[in-house]
Every structure is written in C-alpha cells, then in structure tokens.
C-alpha cells in the first residue's frame, strides 16, 4: 500500500480517462484525493499529454518529484484507435460542435479510402484546430473560436508513423494511428475528408499507448482512488 511519502517522492500513474473528463479534471481529482487521504497541504500533480474531453484512454500522471519527468514523457509517440465520419464537417473537427457542412460520399470506395492512407504517413505540417487549448498571445484558441474572433494559426511539424484502416462501414471509418507528440487526430480526420473530395470529422477517439505505456495497465480515476486513496 502506498503512503503520502511515496506520492511526494514521485509516482507515475496510468489513468484510463473516461469521456467528458478533461485532463485537468483528472489531475485535480487525483491531487485532491491524495491530499485528503494523507493530510498533505500541497503536492505537485501533472499530466504528460492532454486528451480532449470527448476522447478516452491513456493519460499519464506524475506526482511529486516525478513531475520533473513530464517533459520527457510528453515527447513519446502515441497510438490511438478512432472513428471518423465521412460526408460532413464540424468547426471543432469532432463532435464538440454541430455539423456546419455536408458533402457527397457516393464517389468514395473502399479502395480509395485505403489507398489514401499512404498520403498521410511521414513528416508533414499540420494546422491545429481552432477549438484547441494551444495559446496564442496568452489566450487559448478555443476562446477565440467561442468568441467568434479570427486568429491566424501557424502549421506545426508532426509525424505519422503508421496509419491503418480497421473497418469501413459508411459513413464511418475505424482506424488505428501512431504519431508524434502534438498531433491532432481531429485535424487528421478533417484533412482526410478533404483529400477524398468530401468532408469528415472525428466521432470517436481512444488513446491506447504512450511510448511503452499501454492502456491495459491503466485504471479509471475512481478505480485508482478506490484501490489506493480510500
């Protein structure tokens, strides 16, 4: 059984984040539970790579002195399982916002989808979604978006290591993707739709791996608290 000193000395915690939780919600919940359980006034807790609230899956948390390792963990490659829905787009590139445009999918074949995947593998420049937590001039992009303000977003270099189509059941495409730090899978979905002369948005996403760390070894927030902090 872990004690307060263990968390202060530094622990790496694998969390299976559930839908609707923000990454900061997870950090705050775990930090609060540690402080309450061991009567600790202050302890550092951080995460090594954000997951959007609508996404699920692996989130690495670090406590105490282990937070010094966050930058090293954040640069590790990630693997995801996702679903993109063809024939429509949304401003956020996922289900956070309503559909703004619809497109024909009658010309899209399984062969076209699978052959198109190869165009995304490798190093490329990606423009992050306007609905993201990236800061420009001290303000997060999603705040510009929600205020209806225009802002110039610079492209960033990313790398797609592997991209596989798992299942096609139109208009939905299930896929698995391995990529570098800073890759927005929502943007991949949006760009993929454009490349098919149609539209697409991300309708489901689960992070399964971060470097050598795997979702199978992770616990939900409540499972972790029940096991170690109750």
The set of catalytic residues is: 52
3-class DSSP state of 135: strand
Asked whether 44 and 9 are in contact (CB, 8 A), the reply is no
Asked whether 121 and 161 are in contact (CB, 8 A), the reply is yes
Largest pairwise CA distance in the chain: 62
* Residue 86 CB partners (closer than 8 Å, separation 6+): 103, 105, 108, 170, 171, 172, 173, 193, 196, 198, 199, 200
Asked whether 173 and 180 are in contact (CB, 8 A), the reply is no
Q: Distance from CA of residue 49 to its chain's centroid?
A: 8
By DSSP bridging, strand 139-140 and strand 12-17 are unpaired
Q: Which of 219, 226, 222 has its CA nearest to residue 16?
A: 219
Asked whether 210 and 60 are in contact (CB, 8 A), the reply is yes
Rounded Cα gap, residues 17 and 93, in angstroms: 21
């Amino acid at each position: 059984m872990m004690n307060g000193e263990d968390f202060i000395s530094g622990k790496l915690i694998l969390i299976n984040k559930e839908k609707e939780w923000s990454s900061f919600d997870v950090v705050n919940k775990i930090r609060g539970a540690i402080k309450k359980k061991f009567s600790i006034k202050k302890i550092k807790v951080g995460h090594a790579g954000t997951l959007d609230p609508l996404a699920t899956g692996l989130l690495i948390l670090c406590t105490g002195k282990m937070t010094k390792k966050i930058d090293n963990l954040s640069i590790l490659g990630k693997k995801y399982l996702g679903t993109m829905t063809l024939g429509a787009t949304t401003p956020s590139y996922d289900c956070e916002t309503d559909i703004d445009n619809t497109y024909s999918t009658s010309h899209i074949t399984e062969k076209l989808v699978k052959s198109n995947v190869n165009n995304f593998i490798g190093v490329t420049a990606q423009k992050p979604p306007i609905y993201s937590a990236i800061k420009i001039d001290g303000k997060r992009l999603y705040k510009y978006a929600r205020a209806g303000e225009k802002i110039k977003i610079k492209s960033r270099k990313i790398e797609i290591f592997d991209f596989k189509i798992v299942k096609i059941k139109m208009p939905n495409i299930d896929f698995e993707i391995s990529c570098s730090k800073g890759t927005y899978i929502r943007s991949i979905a949006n760009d993929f739709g454009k490349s098919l002369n149609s539209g697409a948005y991300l309708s489901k996403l689960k992070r399964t791996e971060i470097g050598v760390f795997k979702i199978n070894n992770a616990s939900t927030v409540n499972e972790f608290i029940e096991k170690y902090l109750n």
